A and B are shown apart, each in its own frame.
Chain A
C-alpha cells in the first residue's frame, strides 16, 4: 500500500486506555494536554526489569489482538517534582527552570521544562481499522527535559 492515511484526530477521543475513570492529571497546567499525554526527555534510558517474556516485540505481537488491560502493570521508578511550581500562580513561568526526577530513593536528576522549538504530533496506529492507518493523538508543545546524569541524594 503506497498510501497510508494520517487522521488529524483520534478515533476515540475518550482515551481507549483509560479504565473506568480518567485519573487526575498531576502535572503543571502548562504540561497538561487534552489527552493527558506529555513528553519527558532523558539522557540515557530507564532500565526496567522486563516481564517474564523476555522478547518484548514477540510479546507485543501476541497481545496485540486482545485489549486485555489486566496484563499491563506499572513499575514504580521514582518521583517527579516541580519545586517552584504553585497552582495559585500558574502564569508565572519561572518554575519551569527547575524540575527533579528522583530515581529510586537515592538518585536525583535535575532538569527543566522547555517549550519545544516546534510542536510535536504524537502519532499512533489507528485502532480497529482494517487498513493500516495512523492518527494524531495529541500535539505536544512542552517537554520535561533532564539533560544531566543522576546525582546521589541521601535526604529524601
Chain B
C-alpha cells in the first residue's frame, strides 16, 4: 500500500490539557495583530450599573473587542466538531504504550516524531459589527453628570472661576470613565466630543455633560461676545479670545460657566479639520455656518421641546432658532436643514425633539431579535478560561 511509504507522525494526547480560546480574525484585525508595532487590544464590557442603564436589545451579557479605533462584538459559536490544538512533542512514552498504535516487530514503522493535542476547544469566538456600529454616546449619557444650572438668563448663575485643572489630571479622569464604556478609545473620544463632555472641579472634580439648555446658553454667550468683540466666527479665532469675549468685561472673578465647557462646545462645533485630539488644548477654531446652524437648531429644539408633550409651534421654533444665530446667519435656519429624524411632529404645525437613542431604536428593532438568539456571551473570563494554567 502506497501510504506505507509516507512518514507517519505519532499523535498523542497530553494530560492535563491547556486552556486556550480561538478567535476568528477579520482581515483588518489580522493586519493589525501582525503589524510590527501591534497595539494591545482590550476586551471591554460595561460595568454592571452601565449595562443595566444602557440596554442592548441584541445581547444581555456581552464582551466587545476593542482596537484603538474599532469595536467588535464577540459572539461565542459552539461547534459539534472538536478543535484540537497540536504542538510538536518529544513523545517520551514507553515502547509498550506505542504498541497501541503500531506493531513493534518492524522498528521502521515506528514514527520517530510526534505531535500532541494539548487543548480542545468546542467553540470559537467570532467577531461582528452590528448594523449601525458602536457608539459611546448612550453610555456617556448615563455615566457623565448632567450639567444643568437652573438659569434661563445668563446673568443669574454666576460661579467663581475654579483653578484650572492640569491637563494630566483631566485626561486621567476622562480615561478612567472610558474604561467602563465598552467601545474603542477613538469611539469614546468622538462620543465625548459629541456630547460636549468636560471635566471640571466645581464642587468636586467630575466629568460632566451639559444639558441642551446649558449648551444653548454657552452658544448665546458666544454669539453675544463675538459681536461685542468683533470676532468673526467663520474665520480662525483664538479660543482664548473667545473666552475673554464671553466673560463680562467688568467682572473678572465670576464666570457664567466653566471654561472647560466653552472649550467642549467649541470642539463640538468647530470645523472638522480643526478638531484636535482631546489630549491637546484647542487653541484655534472656526465655525462652519451650515453645520453650526444645524447644531444650534437641534440644541434649541432639545432645550425648548425635549418631549412630545412639550411640542412647540413650528413658526415659534424657527423664530427662536433664528434669534440664536448671528445676524448674517439667520437665513440658514430652515426645517430642511435639520438632521434627518432629529425632530417629530405630532401635528403639521408643531414640532418636538427626538432623542438620538430613540432615533436609532426605530431603525434597529427589525434586525435585533435575530442576532439576540445567536449572541450568547459571558463576561466571566474566569469561567471561559478555567482550564488554563
Contact = CB atoms under 8 A, between A and B. Distances in A.
Interface in B1-55: 1-3, 6-27, 30, 32-34, 38-47
B115 interface: yes
A48 B84 CA distance: 13
Contact of A37 (B38, B86, B120, B182): B86
Interface in A22-45: 22-27, 35-45
B85 A23 contact: no
Contacts of B251: none
Contacts of B150: none
Contact of B3 (A43, A67, A100): A100
A71 to B, nearest CB: 7
Which residue among A76, A105, A127, A132 has the maximum number of chain B CB atoms within 10 Å of its CB? A76
Interface size class of B (residues with CB under 8 A): 35 or more
Contacts of B146: none
Instruction: Summarize B's interface: helix, strand, loop or mixed.
Output: mixed
A119 interface: yes
B180 interface: yes
Given A46-B84, A77-B11, A8 B33 contact: yes
Which residue among A39, A104, A137 has the maximum number of chain B CB atoms within 10 Å of its CB? A39
Interface in B93-107: 93, 97-98, 100-103
Interface size class of A (residues with CB under 8 A): 35 or more
A15 B43 CA distance: 24
Contacts, number: 246
Given A2-B182, A123-B23, A105 B103 contact: yes
B206 interface: no
Interface stretch (B207-215, B329-337, B338-346, B379-387): B379-387
Given A2-B182, A46-B117, A123-B20, A73 B14 contact: yes
A9 interface: yes
B81 A43 contact: yes
A12 interface: no
Contact of B90 (A19, A37, A45, A134): A19
A79 B386 contact: no
A79 B8 contact: yes
Contact of A45 (B39, B40, B82): B82
Contact of A57 (B25, B26, B91, B386): B386
Interface of A: 2-9, 15, 17, 19, 22-27, 35-46, 48, 50-51, 56-57, 59-61, 63-64, 67, 71-85, 100-102, 104-105, 118-125, 127, 132, 134, 136-137, 139, 143, 147, 155-156
Q: Give the top 7 A-B pairs by smallest Cβ distance, nearest first.
A: A8-B38, A26-B113, A74-B12, A6-B41, A79-B8, A125-B388, A4-B43
Interface of B: 1-3, 6-27, 30, 32-34, 38-47, 65, 80-93, 97-98, 100-103, 111, 113-118, 120, 124, 179-180, 182, 379, 381-382, 385-389
